[in-house]
Structure 1
Amino acid sequence: MENEIHSVVCYTREPLEPEIYSPKLAYSMHLAYTDDGMIYRELNHNSGVLFAKAAELSNGTLSAKSLKNPYLFHMADGSFGVLAIRTEADGSPDQQSKGSVLLFTSPDLLQYRELGLLNLTNGLHVQDIMCEYEHASRKYILRWREEDGRYYQREMVDVTCPDDAAKPKPCEAFTLSPRRVAIEGAVARNAIRVPRGVAQRLIHKLTVPVHVRNELPERVTVSSKEQLQAVKVTAIYSDGTTAIKPIEWDASEIDWSRPGTYRISGSIRQDRYTFPMATNRADPCIAQWDGRYYFVATNDADGNHTISIRESDSIIGLASAEETKILDTGMHDHLKRFLWAPELHGIGGELYIFLAGSSGEFKDIQSHVMRLKKGGNPRIAADWGTPIRVARHDGSPLFQAGITLDMTVLERKGRLYVLWAQRELVPHDLGSWIYIAEADPRKPWRLISEPVLLSKPEYGWANNQTFVEEGPFALMTDRKIFVTISGALVDATYCVGMLSVNSDADLLDPNQWTKRNYPLLTSRSVPGEYGPGHNSYVKDEEGTIWSVYHARPGIGEPRCSGLRRVHFDVDGEPMLGLTEEKDLNPALVSVYLDVLVEALAEG
């Protein structure tokens, strides 16, 4: 332990084909770590963790930006800073950034705050940058190279407050110490030492854990099979996180009429879902209603002209359940095309489907809600009411200058909130943004508050090929509300990002929400699954939470639905890429237990 060297190197990557790893992804800051000072190991699947924000133009549109030549440094207070050259999305010089560099701060190299452009000089483009905090003088020493090849230096007491900076002066040329980083495509920059705790947390947050051992009592006292089946195992993972798992106990050797101690074996149960679960089904949603599970999704097989539903008494049974059509584009005059992203939600004892549809053109796509009649059967089309277009509190349409879609719900403390994707098309196409509002729980198609903007596709992973954030869905825990969103084009570049807020916060205050700078799930997270996204969540009979998502089994293959258990990391945040073989170690499936059978009390 004493000989461990905890260092982190930052780097960008060489771009690949647009659908594999475009400049918008490659020109972001990546991290790798070493504990021996020699071999660096990739973090976050060799994907970026820090992206430059897009610039907002005067007409409201976003201009995508990237970053090059990031430089990590220690701040005076023990936190971290990053300086980088802001570029256009493709890596070419950014005219707005002439004479400036981007400045970020971070407490942990996981969550970053972009402070904007730090002006160094009114001269030329900055092509390289470095910064060190000098303890003796209590100043930051910034050195940079401009496009004419000249080098300059500037001293600052506080790098976040440029007003106190001394004027730049010429300095000697500098070069960064070469780092041998044997990681695909890596363009290495500098490395810094970090405390052991920081290094461990980076590893825990940015690598996928594996199942390493089990915790199970050596002996239990029971008096029935039902009590025995309630005995579960705690799976321990390499990062110290845990998951409770059910066990299939072999109780054949137990004589329940004879008290005593029995040694039995069992197998940890793992529901396995082969991907794809459903082909040509995108934007999937599974919900439980009246003791049954139901599955709905966008139907890519017929060009999004129908919505069908599956029913089963278990989630695993939905994979083979028969589909029944409950809506098509011939049933209603106002829904003729683009039946997208249906979601099932139980609200106030009523079952609803939230969906998007259009009267004809793309520009007419709007969010709608349809309600199941009292005592109705979700599999019978006639039991569903006419889809109602979502309206504002005054009864006017939710949005008329563009489209709305992917509406979902979030219930907290007796109040109902809706979140959706909204794309302004007139007078300019702004891309798809995420909004929230409070809605009437008795008429969930009617807002009772003004819409509030939560998020824009400002990062390269969200505006990759197109400016889109969509598909919000809430996952609630005791302390936090997580809303996963999907970004980029619905091809292999599609990915999942995340917003979060404290459970007791004002959900309509955008300043209460935090947006993760890097995506939660991408094509690099699970081999063979491309463009994962538009996921929802469902809890099974054991209390296990599942992510229901779509992805492609190959680049250019159709969108298909899949399921994966949601794991919670060291901070209690969802992990969506824990594959089955890492979730349950085959060598640890078998467990053993001494069972003390008590005599049943007479009475």
Structure 2
Amino acid sequence: MNNNLEKSTISEVFMNPLVEQRADPWVYKHTDGYYYFTASVPEFDRIELRRARRIQELNASDVAVAWTKHKEGPMSSHIWAPEIHFIHGKWYIYFAAARSGDTDNGMFDHRMFVLENDSSNPLEGTWIEKGQIVTKWDSFSLDATTFEHRDIRYLVWAQKDPAIAGNSNLYMSAMANPWTLQGEQVMLSKPEFAWETIGFLVNEGPAVIRKNGRIFISYSASATDYNYCMGLLSADENSDLLDPASWTKAGHAVFQTNDETGQYGPGHNCFTVSEDETEDIFIYHARNYKEINGDPLYDPNRHARAQVLKWSHDGAPLFGIPVRDSKDDTVQI
């Protein structure tokens, strides 16, 4: 027994994969009791939404297409990593898109964009394009996520700083509204450890969870094959979140490939809660095989998965290892 683990209050059962061929998964539990799900689709050409009363039911739920890529221009290719948020009575989707047939100094030409919908059910109504999130540099940027803390809304995202070697670092800024940054934009983390720099120098896919007097940001690192893994930043909830010195970075990967369970390249997670809201759940993608033919980015089998997030007695998240694929309905997390 690991005495460092807090005892779970429920036994949550998931059949994994949760949703097949859906990378970069995002699950949000709304006040209406529904879980809302979106993710990157293998075609990278649209944004889908689905909802269900239970996490496990997301796979069988109806799917609505919220938005489809443009025929040309900066929103016409490689639609990546959508997230859905409910802010001040409206729904917002954050996503990254690129220009067809174009690259930025050999990299994908992604920028971050926002959609808005004022319908009570985001699978209905009209999604309005609010435009690009303008940052300090006009450079490769993606994986925007947002949260509010003490009446200030923040954006955290990944971006290429032209003056820093590598592919992407993590940045944070306050927001004037859900699609506009305000004030200083600060770097929280850049790839520096060996496990962050395999294949590519990457910090991306941030996700925020607040608990035990601290704010945690998980993120993903390295290439999108079996080397893909997750790191963790933390800050005291009373600190200045826009001061990089407030953040502590774990020196090791907190979630990574596990040969024994047959899960490879786990990452790009999000956080949600159980139906009774007594357990924290994290959703992530992983493959169930190691060897990939060609560019792993175009391998479609990064499946969305779910498992319970444990917490240590000192208040830190413990991700454990990615669980093996379910064999039957007796498999428990």
Q: Fold conserved (TM > 0.5)?
A: yes
**1:349 Cα deviation after fit:** 2.4
The aligned residue for residue 40 of structure 2 is 298
Change (3 A) 1:416 1:427: closer
Give yes or no for contact 1:525–1:577 (8 Å, CA) kept in 2.
no
Q: Which has the larger radius of gyration?
A: 1
CA distance in 1, matches of 2:18, 2:187: 34
Q: Which runs of 5+ in 2 are unaligned?
A: 293-298, 325-331
The aligned residue for residue 173 of structure 1 is none
| SS across alignment from 1:357 | strand
Change (3 A) 1:460 1:240: closer
Give yes or no for contact 2:166–2:202 (8 Å, CA) kept in 1.
no
CA distance in 1, matches of 2:207, 2:88: 19
The aligned residue for residue 554 of structure 1 is 289
The aligned residue for residue 351 of structure 1 is 91
**1:284 Cα deviation after fit:** 0.3
**1:456 Cα deviation after fit:** 0.7
Deviates more, 1:506-515 or 1:520-529: 520-529
- The answer to whether residue 116 in structure 2 is matched with residue 371 in structure 1 is yes
**1:344 Cα deviation after fit:** 1.3
**1:383 Cα deviation after fit:** 1.6
The aligned residue for residue 129 of structure 2 is 386
The aligned residue for residue 220 of structure 2 is 486
Q: Deviations over 1:418-473 (max 9, x none)?
A: 1100013x577532100111012xx2111111210111101110011111110011
Provide the aligned C-alpha RMSD in A.
2.2
Of 155, 158, 166 in structure 2, the residue corresponding to residue 418 of structure 1 is: 155
Aligned positions of 1:253-402 closer than 5 A:
270-289=11-30, 290-300=32-42, 302=43, 304-330=44-70, 333-360=73-100, 361-363=102-104, 364-373=109-118, 375-380=119-124, 383-392=126-135, 398-400=136-138, 402=139
CA distance in 2, matches of 1:422, 1:330: 23
The aligned residue for residue 407 of structure 1 is 144
The aligned residue for residue 295 of structure 2 is none
Q: Deviations over 1:464-503 (max 9, x none)?
A: 1111110011110131111001000011100000000001
Higher RCO (CA < 8 A, seq sep 6+): 2
Structure with the larger helix share: 1
TM-score of the two chains, using structure 2 as the length reference: 0.87
Give yes or no for contact 2:257–2:322 (8 Å, CA) kept in 1.
no
Change (3 A) 1:580 1:276: closer
| SS across alignment from 2:204 | strand
**1:291 Cα deviation after fit:** 2.7
Change (3 A) 1:541 1:383: same
Equivalent AA in structure 1 for residue 81 of structure 2: A
Count residues with an aligned counterpart: 310
**1:241 Cα deviation after fit:** 3.0
Aligned positions of 1:49-60 closer than 5 A:
none
Give yes or no for contact 2:49–2:64 (8 Å, CA) kept in 1.
yes
Give yes or no for contact 2:95–2:143 (8 Å, CA) kept in 1.
yes
Give yes or no for contact 1:566–1:578 (8 Å, CA) kept in 2.
no
Change (3 A) 1:561 1:526: farther
Q: Which runs of 5+ in 1 are unaligned?
A: 1-209, 211-237, 247-269, 393-397, 582-588, 590-603
Give yes or no for contact 2:205–2:220 (8 Å, CA) kept in 1.
yes
Give yes or no for contact 2:206–2:268 (8 Å, CA) kept in 1.
yes
Give yes or no for contact 2:113–2:132 (8 Å, CA) kept in 1.
yes
Aligned positions of 1:161-180 closer than 5 A:
none
- Give 4+ residue runs of structure 1 displaced > 6 Å after superposition: none
- The answer to whether residue 187 in structure 2 is matched with residue 434 in structure 1 is no
Q: Deviations over 1:510-563 (max 9, x none)?
A: 011100000000103862110000000001222211111001111136211100
The aligned residue for residue 232 of structure 2 is 498
Change (3 A) 1:298 1:519: same
Change (3 A) 1:456 1:240: closer
CA distance in 2, matches of 1:368, 1:278: 25
Equivalent AA in structure 2 for residue 294 of structure 1: Y
TM-score of the two chains, using structure 1 as the length reference: 0.49
CA distance in 2, matches of 1:578, 1:428: 32
| SS across alignment from 2:140 | strand
**1:274 Cα deviation after fit:** 2.3
Change (3 A) 1:475 1:428: closer
Of 171, 174, 194 in structure 2, the residue corresponding to residue 460 of structure 1 is: 194
* Percent of matched pairs sharing the same residue: 29
CA distance in 1, matches of 2:316, 2:80: 28
Q: Deviations over 1:244-271 (max 9, x none)?
A: 424xxxxxxxxxxxxxxxxxxxxxxx33
| SS across alignment from 1:317 | helix
Q: Deviations over 1:175-213 (max 9, x none)?
A: xxxxxxxxxxxxxxxxxxxxxxxxxxxxxxxxxxx5xxx
Change (3 A) 1:545 1:560: same
Change (3 A) 1:503 1:549: same
| SS across alignment from 2:184 | coil
Change (3 A) 1:526 1:549: farther
The aligned residue for residue 185 of structure 1 is none
**1:320 Cα deviation after fit:** 1.8
